[in-house]
Structure 1
Amino acid sequence: MMTIFTDGQAEAEITESSYCWKKNSVKVEDGYLKSTGMVTHTRIPLKHIDTVVYSYNPKKPAIVPVLKIIGKGTVLCEMEISAEHIEAVQDWMLNVIES
């Protein structure tokens, strides 16, 4: 396990199978990508995930980035993740689906 601090000094615990921060967790378990906490509750088979992207919607009152999990050209899931963690979570997920 490794504890990191992002640019915004937000703490996260990262292992090969999980990325956890505050009360949120995204992990790989039994061939699924599972998330729990404030971000969302998700269970997606890893074999269906092609890539992970994020975007900001400047039209919303609170600009919160949205992480999109994409498979076969379809958005399988969207997670609102704070700006201080969005890139690190995206990098972790991309590493997981490429291995």
Structure 2
Amino acid sequence: MAYLDGSNVLTESNMEYLWKKNKITIENGYLMSSGLINNVRVPLRAIETVVWAINPAKPTLSPALKIIGKGIVLAEIQIGIDIINDVQDWILEKLEIA
């Protein structure tokens, strides 16, 4: 599926989620992100859930997906509020498959 909203291009496939110049992929048992967002590489087997939060104490309100495993935050991915729910759902769906 692809969405065009001005300069924002969003593409979702079975193992890849792309928007603007950012990418989250699942390959070889890892969840990996690259682009202007944080670069993350986390083993899928270590991930228990994915939540998102906004830290109001920071000067800019930037939401982040928190990758949780064994009760700790394994990684954070900064992402826009407009697609954060979609990306969270996509990752959670892939965890059920893995």
**TM-score by structure 1 length?**
0.90
Contact in 1 for aligned 2:51/2:88 (Cα 8 Å) = yes
**What is aligned with 1:54?**
52
**What is aligned with 1:88?**
86
| Alignment coverage as a number of residue pairs | 96
Question: Is 1:3 the counterpart of 2:5 in the alignment?
Answer: no
Structure 2 CA distance for aligned equivalents of residues 21 and 82 of structure 1:
10
Using the aligned pairs only, state the percent identity.
Answer: 44
Question: Is 1:74 the counterpart of 2:72 in the alignment?
Answer: yes
- Identify which of 27, 30, 36 aligns with 2:28: 30
Contact in 2 for aligned 1:10/1:84 (Cα 8 Å) = no
Q: Secondary structure at the match of 2:82?
A: helix
Q: Secondary structure at the match of 2:88?
A: helix
Deviations 1:46-66 (A, max 9, x none): 011000000011121110101
Contact in 1 for aligned 2:32/2:40 (Cα 8 Å) = yes
Structure 1: runs of 5+ lacking an equivalent: none
Q: Secondary structure at the match of 1:12?
A: strand
Which consecutive segments of 4 or more residues in structure 1 shift more than 2 A?
Answer: none
Give the root-mean-square deviation of aligned CA atoms: 1.6
Deviation at 1:18, TM superposition (A): 0.6
**TM-score by structure 2 length?**
0.91
Structure 2: runs of 5+ lacking an equivalent: none
**What is aligned with 2:18?**
20
Structure 2 CA distance for aligned equivalents of residues 31 and 83 of structure 1:
27
Structure 1 CA distance for aligned equivalents of residues 3 and 95 of structure 2:
21
Higher RCO (C-alpha under 8 Å, 6+ residues apart):
1
- Identify which of 26, 47, 64 aligns with 2:62: 64
